[in-house]
Structure 1
Amino acid sequence: MGAQVSKQLERRKAIDAEKKILSDLLQSSGDQFPGSDYHPSDPKTWMSSLDPSKLHIRNILFPGTHDSATNKIGIPFISRPFAQCQSSSIYRQLCRGARVLDVRVNQDRRVCHGILVTYPIDVVLDSIKRFLSETTSEILILEIRTEFGYTDPPDFDTFLSDQLSDLLIHHDDHVFDKTIAELLPHRIICIWKPRKSPAPKPGGPLWSAGYLRDNWIDTDLPNTKFESNMKHLSEQQPVSSRKYFYRVENTVTPQADNPVVCVRPVTERIHGYARLFIAQAFARGFADRLQVFSTDFIDEDFVDACAGVTHARLEGKA
């Protein structure tokens, strides 16, 4: 018992020390970057306001949500706090400016996070279609994967293609060099990541797993995650020469051996340092690698920061 208490005390000290490192870095270097003062007038249409005829896909910093469809996962106040990474619906996330969705499914086409299961994938797709029907020039990246521990839903590629139909931007490496206007009326880059089923074929309506990459690490230590994100981002090619999307997640993950295992209090250790991360990417010389930036519990400030970088790139200031 004493050894376990000692371990938890050391863990608490490590977390506090890492939080202080980020706090001190913010105080010493600030979180300003090209475009940091930009605020779109309406987050629902922030891409449209940046001139779709000039905005190339490669120059967008896409704000994304991690475990996007978990707003109603689990039982309220019982299991939900351990798995909920977003408190808003998919539709509300899109209206707030999110443009990358991370959705996990099981063999029954239901959304899940680990062992917890929530609504059918149809709820997600209907929300997306509703949002796109209300806007004209917003482009989305929809990542759908089979959750670990489950089997692939049967014929899911056909199902997605039928459900999203003419909204889909078919796989094409030249997409990265095109403007939003050149892709319209197609609006969705859908990346399907099955566990065992065949991957989407080149040139088809769906994109394969290699087109959205990341280097996720399982830690609840905020500076460890921050610096890991920095390291892996620095190793990427600039967006101007890359033919895949690269994602950085401004999140940390609850650990089973720690007393604090609810998502929100853990992820808040790093949540407020999104602007610092962008500023440090500029300061360290590899902001030209930034392309997809995701978070738990997305908010207006996170979207503003991503839209600001996008605006600066469009203006030739980043």
Structure 2
Amino acid sequence: MGAQVSKQIERRTDIKTEKKVLADLKQTCGCDYPGCDYRPSDRKNWMSALNPDKLRINQIVWPGTHDSATNQIGIPFISRPFAQCQTLSIYDQLVAGARVLDVRIQEDRRVCHGILLTYSVDVVIADVKKFLTETQSEIIILEIRTEFGHTDPPDFDQYLKDQLGDYLIHHDDRVFEKTIAEILPRRVICVWKPQKAPAPAAGDPLWSSGYLKDNWTDTDKPSTKFESNMKHLGEQPATVGRKYFYRVENTVTPQADNPILCVKAVTGRIQPYARTFIAECVRRGIADRLQIFSTDFIDDDFVDACVGLTSAKVEGKA
């Protein structure tokens, strides 16, 4: 018992120290970077405002959401706090400016996070399609994967093709270099990541898992995650010439041996430092590698932080 108490005290001290590291970094280095003052007048249509004729896919810093379809997961006040990573619906996230969605499913096509369940993936698709009908030039990256430990839904690739139809941007390595205007009227890059089912082939309407990469660090320590993100991002080539999307997630994860298990409380340790991360990328000379930047509980400032750097890239200022 004494050893367990001692371990928890040590962990709390570690977390407090790591939170201070990020707070000090934000204080000393600030959050200034090219485009940091930019605020889109309409987050629902922010890509349109940056000129689809000029904005190239490989210039975009894509604001994304982690475990996107968890706004109604589990049982309210009981299991939901341990798995909910977003409070907004998929549609509301897109209206708020998110352009990358991370959706996990199980065999019956219900969305899940680990063992906890929520609505059918039909709800996700309906929200995506509603948003697409209300906008003209916004491109979405929709990543759908079979959750670890679960079985692939039967014929799910055909389901996605049938549901998204002409919205789908077919796999083509040349897409990365194109402007939004050159891709329209197709609007969705759909990355399908099954556990065992065949992966999408080259040229398919769906994209395979190798086209959306990340390096997940499973930790609840904010400075550890921040520096891990920096390290792995620095190992990537620049987005210009890169033929895959790379994601950095501004999140930390509750750990089973820590008494604080609610997602919101834990991820709040790193969430305020999104702008600090972008500023540090600029300072360390790796901002040209930043592409998908995702978060839990997305908000307006996170979207503005990503759109601002995107705007600077379009204007040749970053």
Alignment TM class, shorter chain as reference: over 0.9
Tell whether 2:58 aligns with 1:58: yes
User: 2:129 is matched with which residue?
Assistant: 129
User: 2:71 is matched with which residue?
Assistant: 71
User: 2:12 is matched with which residue?
Assistant: 12
Uncovered stretches (5+) of structure 2, i.e. residues with no partner: none
Q: In structure 2, what is the Cα distance between the partners aligned to 1:39 and 1:171?
A: 32
Q: Structure 2 counterpart of 1:60, which letter?
A: I
Q: Structure 1 counterpart of 2:30, which letter?
A: G
3-state SS of 1:102 partner: strand
Taking the TM superposition and a 5 Å limit, the aligned residue runs for 1:72-87 are 72-87=72-87
Q: In structure 1, what is the Cα distance between the partners aligned to 2:154 and 2:32?
A: 48
Q: In structure 2, what is the Cα distance between the partners aligned to 1:62 and 1:28?
A: 27
User: 1:232 is matched with which residue?
Assistant: 232
Q: Structure 1 counterpart of 2:266, which letter?
A: V
TM-score (norm 1): 1.00
User: 2:24 is matched with which residue?
Assistant: 24
Taking the TM superposition and a 5 Å limit, the aligned residue runs for 1:186-201 are 186-201=186-201
User: 2:299 is matched with which residue?
Assistant: 299
Q: How much has 1:274 moved relative to structure 2? A: 0.2
Taking the TM superposition and a 5 Å limit, the aligned residue runs for 1:56-205 are 56-205=56-205
User: 1:316 is matched with which residue?
Assistant: 316
Taking the TM superposition and a 5 Å limit, the aligned residue runs for 1:253-272 are 253-272=253-272
User: 1:48 is matched with which residue?
Assistant: 48
Q: In structure 2, what is the Cα distance between the partners aligned to 1:108 and 1:73?
A: 16
3-state SS of 2:269 partner: helix
Q: How much has 1:48 moved relative to structure 2? A: 0.5
Q: Structure 2 counterpart of 1:214, which letter?
A: D
Alpha-carbon deviations, 1:82-123, whole Å to 9, x = none? 000000000000000000000000000110000001100000
Q: In structure 1, what is the Cα distance between the partners aligned to 2:292 and 2:191?
A: 14
Tell whether 2:209 aligns with 1:209: yes
Q: Structure 1 counterpart of 2:230, which letter?
A: M
Alpha-carbon deviations, 1:44-98, whole Å to 9, x = none? 0000000001100000000000000000000000000000000000000000000
Q: Structure 2 counterpart of 1:6, which letter?
A: S
Q: In structure 1, what is the Cα distance between the partners aligned to 2:8 and 2:43?
A: 42
Q: How much has 1:267 moved relative to structure 2? A: 0.0
Q: Structure 2 counterpart of 1:161, which letter?
A: K
User: 1:222 is matched with which residue?
Assistant: 222
Q: In structure 1, what is the Cα distance between the partners aligned to 2:75 and 2:27?
A: 40
Alpha-carbon deviations, 1:167-193, whole Å to 9, x = none? 000000000010000100100000000
Q: In structure 1, what is the Cα distance between the partners aligned to 2:25 and 2:164?
A: 44
Q: In structure 2, what is the Cα distance between the partners aligned to 1:19 and 1:171?
A: 41
Q: In structure 1, what is the Cα distance between the partners aligned to 2:192 and 2:115?
A: 20
User: 1:284 is matched with which residue?
Assistant: 284
Report the count of equivalent residues.
Answer: 318
Q: In structure 2, what is the Cα distance between the partners aligned to 1:37 and 1:113?
A: 36
* Superposed structure 1 runs of 4+ greater than 6 Å apart: none
Percent identical among aligned pairs is 71
Q: Structure 2 counterpart of 1:40, which letter?
A: P
The RMSD of aligned alpha carbons is 0.3
Q: In structure 2, what is the Cα distance between the partners aligned to 1:110 and 1:75?
A: 15
Alpha-carbon deviations, 1:266-316, whole Å to 9, x = none? 000000000000000000001000000000000000000000010000000
Uncovered stretches (5+) of structure 1, i.e. residues with no partner: none
3-state SS of 2:196 partner: coil
Q: How much has 1:241 moved relative to structure 2? A: 1.4
Q: In structure 2, what is the Cα distance between the partners aligned to 1:241 and 1:229?
A: 21
Q: Structure 2 counterpart of 1:132, which letter?
A: L
Q: Structure 1 counterpart of 2:63, which letter?
A: P
User: 2:3 is matched with which residue?
Assistant: 3
Q: Structure 1 counterpart of 2:124, which letter?
A: V
Q: How much has 1:222 moved relative to structure 2? A: 0.1
